[in-house]
Amino acid sequence: MSLIRWDPLDELMGIRDAMNRVFDETFARRGTGKSSGNHGWRPSVDMYETEDDVVVRANLPGVEQKDIEVTLTDNALTIKGESKYEKEIEDKNVHRRERSFGRFMRTLPINTKIKPDQAHAEFKDGVLGITIPKAPEAKEKRFRLDIH
């Protein structure tokens, strides 16, 4: 007989993962209604800071530029849009249907002082790129300390 060490953190991680799946499934289904025939979707987003900017890149496959709306305030960025359902596929011949469609909205909090009036966006190859300049007071100031 061998002893197996029990780690309570392993069980907590399993519970956390299960709760994350529940919330992901619940909130992914909100917002589109039955008229779209889909459970809704959330575009994948990368958000990061450089020394001078806050940068956001969102994957929006199948979305046309005219169907995207971007709103920016001092503390949040909202991306709204819609991916149209392709009706040319007859349901009786479908083997697999995994692509998402319908309306979406993502609101991303911004915790850095920014200059919203100087932000710019571009849309290329299904990727929305947004660059938001930081306000001078938000830029990290570094000082070299002399060690005595």
Where are the domains positioned within the chain?
43-88+100-137
- What is 43-88+100-137's CATH number? 2.60.40.790
* 72, β-bridge pairs: 77
pLDDT of residue 33: 37
User: How far apart are the C-alpha atoms of 20 and 24, rounded to whole Å?
Assistant: 6
- In 3D, which of 79, 95, 99, 109 has the Cα closest to residue 38? 99
pLDDT of residue 26: 59
Which SS3 state, helix, strand or coil, does residue 23 take?
Answer: helix
User: How far apart are the C-alpha atoms of 145 and 148, rounded to whole Å?
Assistant: 9
pLDDT of residue 36: 37
pLDDT of residue 107: 93
User: How far apart are the C-alpha atoms of 6 and 2, rounded to whole Å?
Assistant: 13
In the sheet that holds 68-72, the strands lie side by side as 68-72, 76-83, 102-109
pTM reported for the whole predicted model = 0.64
Q: What is the pLDDT along the chain (148 residues), one digit of tens a residue?
A: 667 777 777 777 778 777 877 776 655 444 433 333 444 678 999 999 999 999 999 999 889 999 999 999 989 999 999 887 766 666 667 777 777 778 899 999 999 999 999 999 999 999 999 999 999 887 766 667 878 6
pLDDT of residue 132: 96
pLDDT of residue 38: 41
pLDDT of residue 133: 95
